[in-house]
Each structure stands twice: as C-alpha cells, then as structure tokens.
Amino acid sequence: MKGIHILVFILILNSLIPVFAGEPTHYAIRLSTAPGSTTSQSVSLLWGEGGKTDDDHHYSIYCNGKLLDTTAMTYYDVKNLPSDSSYHFQVKLQNKKNKVIYNSNLLYVRTSLSPKYFNIKDFGAVGDGKSLDTKAIQQAIDACNKQGIVVVPKGVYLTGALFFKSYMTLYIEEGAILKGSSDLAHYPIVRSRFEGIEGSQYASLINGGTLLSGGIQEFSIRGKGIIDANGENLINQQKKEGLGYRGRILSLMNGENICLEGVAFLQSPAWGVHFIYCMGVTIKDVYINTRFDPETGRKYKIHNGDGLTIDSSKDIVVYNTTISSQDDNVSIKSGRDNDGRRVAKSTDNVKLFDCKFLGGFGVVVGSEMAGNVRNVLVNNCFYENTACVSQLKAPWGRGGVIENITFKNIVHTDSIHHDNMWFRGAICIDQYYGIENPDYTVRKEVDENMPTIRDAWYENITISKKYGFGMYLCGRPENYAKNIYFRNVEIHSENGIYGRYLDGIHLKQTKIIPITGETFEWVQTQNIQINQ
C-alpha cells in the first residue's frame, strides 16, 4: 500500500523526475514565478509541471497570508495588483476536507513600476494594410523608455524587420496585425544561427539581441493580436537572392527573462519562433501556426516551418500553447557538427506542458545537438496527426549528448504520416536520421563526431498510428543508445517496435498492438526487460 500512496502523490505533484522502482522521490511544492512574466499588475505563478490534481485534491493560493483562490492546475496568474508593491505567495495542496497535505515555499515578488505607453499611431503608423509602417513602429520602439510598453492598436500594419531592445514590452491588441512586408529590401542581412551553424541571414520580422555581444533582457510580447511574417511571399525570394539563410517570425539572441503571452505567430520564411543562446524564457497561451492559414484552411507554401525552436538555451517553460506546424512542432537544438562544438553551448532544462501539437512532426531533440541537450520534460500534452510524439535524432557527425529526456501523460493520434528517413516511428530514437536506406553494418570512428543518447523515460502514453512503427529505437554499433524506460505505454500501430543497437530497454505495463507487423523486432540489443 505504501508504494501505491507514493505513486498517487507523484502523479498529483507532477514531479520533474519520472519515478520507477528504487528511485528517490521528492514531494515539496516548488513555487516560482514564470521567467520574465512579472508586470506592474500581474504575477504568473508556477509549481509542478502541468496537469491537474485528482478530484479529491486542490491547490490553494495565498497572497500575503490570505486565501486568494483555488485551482486544480499547477500554475496561476495573479492579476489586478497595484504596481511597485511587494507580495509573498504560498501554495498548499489540500484534500476535500481542506486538510493541508503539502506547503510550498514562500515566494516574495515585487511588481514593477507603472509603465509609460507608446502608441505606434502617435508616431505616424497608419494601419491600413497598404502603407509601410516600419519607420513609425521602429520610432516608437526607439522612443520607448525602460519598462515602457509599445502598443499596437487594432489595424493591419505592414512592416519590414523590427529591432527591439531590453526592458520593454510589445503589446498587440486584439484585432491588431503586424504583417511582414514582401519586399526583400525591408529585411537587412544580419548575423545569426540556422540549422546549428552561425552565419548571415535575412533579418526576421521581430528581432532582438545579437550573437556576440549585445543581448536582450526583460523583453516581452503580450496581447491578443497577430504577428504574421508573410513567409509565403518571402521564401522563394530569399532563396533565389541567396544572400543568407531565410528569416523567422521572431528571432531573439542572447536573451534573458523573456516572455511571450497570448499572441499568435503565423507563417515564416523558415522556422517560426527561434530562441538562440537565451536563458529564462516563458511562452504561455500562445498560438504558433506555420502550417495553414487559420481563416481559410489553405496550407502555406513554406518548408522548414518548425513552429518553436529552442537553440542552445536554458530554463525554458512553455505551457497552454498550441503549435500547428509544417515541420517539427518543437525543435530542441544545440549546434551542428564542428561549428556546434566550437560554440559549445548546451540546451538545458526545457519544460513543455498542457500544450497541443497539431500536424507536423512532434517534439524533436536534434538533429543539431553537438553542444548537448539535457533535462527536457514534455508532460500532459495532446498530439493530433503529428508524425511523432518524440524524436531523439543524433546522426554521426554531430557529437554531443542527449540525456535525461522525459515524455509523460501524452495522447497521440496520427492517420496521415508514413515513415521515412525523417521520422520512422511515433516514438523515435534515430542515430541514422536523414539516411534513406542506412547500412547498419558500417562502423565509424569513436571520436568527437560520435553522438550519445541515454536516459530517456516514457510514461502514461497512448498512441494510435495508422502507418509505420509504433517505436523505432536505433543507436549505433559503436555506441548503443542506453537506459530507455517505458511504463504504462499503449500503442496501436501498423508495426510494433523495431530496436537495434540498444542497451537497457525497460518496458513495464506496456502494450504494443500492431495491425499487421511484428510486435517486437530486436537486432543486436542487450538487457531488454519486457513487463518484468
């Protein structure tokens, strides 16, 4: 009975570390603010990593010792607070009789000063969808004082690349659209990173920070409006002119304490929202769509349309966000081959919870992972017609390590995608990524080019996949993928599990139900435990 009680409370508190028999547990409620989210009137509280309590428990939120509200969630926005004021918060887990099971730490927060507002129309912006408003908007940005807010009111504002600075907010009102110009002259060439290599690129629609020196701090984009990069009308022009990599909707470099809240990001010439060398980022209540026009349903004519890219960045929190993607819904990277090893910046501590992923290829780690990727959690997410739940892809040449990766409490369906060299299973570990017909017998040197995948957990996952493998798990003959754990995973798929070059695969309470193919196909594997 003791073990059952432990499991119940682990599910309630959504512990970061998945718990299997014999592993240590930690039950404290760790209360914090979402990075970069505190304003003059609001505080975003976080504890746990998504999901809800069961029906017999709830969380009580206290502000300055008084009960503020209750919730079943593991996050809460405190609003309508006076500016420039100090508060302390605490969260308590309670049962139906209001008995306190656990207390959080006390969290002390101070709201910021009342901001000054800079309406772009006061600087000459027209907002008719035809007049070029770049100059007026940039003037408002440049004039904005520390902790000020640039306001985009209702209207369609045609603009080229915009360059933002630290300690400010861009607020896009409901009914307001920042629409990217289709003129290449409005996007200067800047130095950035794409596909894991630093180099020249066309400026994105929204830009902040630089690669080498000047970063961007305490920057946020909020509201209920739209940022539309007009990628369809830029992609072929940028490829034809060829002066650099294609731009994004948003690109922030060397950022710290960044928050995106409430805004929609649409169609990019390449990746959508891209964080490079950033630390402390919150993305909440955001909609990213690089796949189709949300009004007409017409598919965008773009490619490499990853929704969200987290690139050599740390302490990233994404929740209550929907990403509809032409490519990877979320791509977690850290540099490519020699250039990635030269930069040597890892990605660490990424949490995604209570999100929806529609279309696209799912949540992906790699293939640019030369700087290492560690400590990724995806919890309580819903996938519809995505090729994969999870891809860990690390082909030879990258080097680097992928480790401590957790996917749990996932529902996935896919009736569209057929396996190919870009994705080979709903749960995919692929060290032959991008090779159409890999020769598994060829061995490579074990040197800085050899990648490593180890320590991944998959728990409480249901998958329904019409075509291909439920799981494709493939390490390398010189360096097996190691220590992969599955618990309470149920997969209905055309084929079952294909596993090669693996050491330490643990399947507990796991059902694999293939439509036509084999349940298991193990080739040159060791230490496989099935429902033991």
Q: What is the chain's mean pLDDT, rounded?
A: 94
Q: Is residue 442 over pLDDT 80?
A: yes
Report pLDDT for 293. Answer: 86
Q: Is residue 162 over pLDDT 90?
A: yes
- Mean pLDDT computed over 396-404: 97
Which of 27-31, 148-152, 381-385, 428-432 has the weakest average pLDDT? Answer: 27-31
CB 493 within 8 Å of CB 450? no
Q: How far apart are CA 266 and CA 248, in angstroms?
A: 10
In a domain, 307, yes or no: yes
Q: Same domain for 231 and 95? A: no
In a domain, 283, yes or no: yes
| Residue-wise burial string across 170-184, b where 16 or more C-beta atoms lie within 10 A, e elsewhere | bbbeeebbbbbbeeb
Q: How far apart are CA 428 and CA 326, in angstroms?
A: 19
Please name the residues in contact with 76: beta carbons below 8 A apart, sequence gap of 6 or more.
Answer: 44, 45, 59, 61, 69, 91
* Percent of the chain scoring above 90 in pLDDT: 91
Q: How confident is the model at residue 531 (pLDDT cuts 50, 70, 90)?
A: confident
In a domain, 158, yes or no: no
Q: How confident is the model at residue 22 (pLDDT cuts 50, 70, 90)?
A: very low
| Residue-wise burial string across 91-126, b where 16 or more C-beta atoms lie within 10 A, e elsewhere | bbbbeeeeeeebebeebebebbeebeebebbebebb
Question: pLDDT tens-digit profile of 47-93?
Answer: 988 999 999 999 999 999 999 999 999 999 999 999 999 999 999 99
User: Which of 54, 44, 63, 69 minimizes the C-alpha distance to 13?
Assistant: 54
Higher pLDDT, 532 or 171: 171
In a domain, 104, yes or no: yes
Q: What is the DSSP string of 370-389?
A: TT-EEEEEEEEEEEES-S-S
Which of 12-21, 28-37, 173-182, 376-385 has the weakest average pLDDT? Answer: 12-21
Structure tokens, 489: 């995973």
* Percent of the chain scoring above 70 in pLDDT: 95
Q: How confident is the model at residue 28 (pLDDT cuts 50, 70, 90)?
A: confident
In a domain, 144, yes or no: no
Question: pLDDT tens-digit profile of 352-387?
Answer: 999 999 999 999 999 999 999 999 999 999 999 999
Which of 91, 110, 129 terminates a domain? The answer is: 110
Q: Is residue 7 over pLDDT 70?
A: no
In a domain, 133, yes or no: no
Residue 444 belongs to domain with CATH number: 2.160.20.10
Question: pLDDT tens-digit profile of 86-132?
Answer: 999 999 999 999 999 999 999 999 999 999 999 999 999 999 999 99
Q: Is residue 2 over pLDDT 80?
A: no
Report pLDDT for 532. Answer: 66
Q: Is residue 306 over pLDDT 90?
A: yes
Q: Same domain for 318 and 455? A: yes
What is the pTM assigned to this prediction? Answer: 0.94
Which of 37-46, 142-151, 169-178, 294-303 has the weakest average pLDDT? Answer: 294-303
Question: pLDDT tens-digit profile of 479-520?
Answer: 999 999 999 999 999 999 999 999 999 999 999 999 998 999
Report pLDDT for 459. Answer: 98
Which of 110, 134, 152 terminates a domain? The answer is: 110
Q: Which domain holds residue 64?
A: 2-110
Helix (H) or strand (E) holding 523: strand 520-530
Question: pLDDT tens-digit profile of 213-247?
Answer: 789 999 999 999 999 999 999 999 999 999 999 99
Which of 110, 132, 162 terminates a domain? The answer is: 110
Q: Is residue 11 over pLDDT 50?
A: no
Question: pLDDT tens-digit profile of 465-480?
Answer: 999 999 999 999 999 9
Q: Same domain for 105 and 220? A: no
Report pLDDT for 23. Answer: 32
Higher pLDDT, 20 or 523: 523
DSSP assignment, residue 99?
-
CB 407 within 8 Å of CB 378? yes
In a domain, 188, yes or no: no
Q: Same domain for 81 and 226? A: no
In a domain, 45, yes or no: yes
Residue 101 belongs to domain with CATH number: 2.60.40.10
How many structural domains are present in the chain?
A: 2
Q: Per the omega criterion (within 30 degrees of 0), is the bond before 131 cis?
A: no
Q: How confident is the model at residue 14 (pLDDT cuts 50, 70, 90)?
A: very low
Q: How far apart are CA 390 and CA 394, in angstroms?
A: 13
Beta strands in 232-313, from DSSP E residues, in sequence order:
250-253, 255-261, 264-266, 273-276, 279-284, 287-289, 308-311
Please name the residues in contact with 2: beta carbons below 8 A apart, sequence gap of 6 or more.
Answer: none
Q: Is residue 20 over pLDDT 70?
A: no
Q: Is residue 10 over pLDDT 60?
A: no
Question: pLDDT tens-digit profile of 413-431?
Answer: 999 999 999 999 999 999 9
Report pLDDT for 214. Answer: 82
Length of the chain equals 532
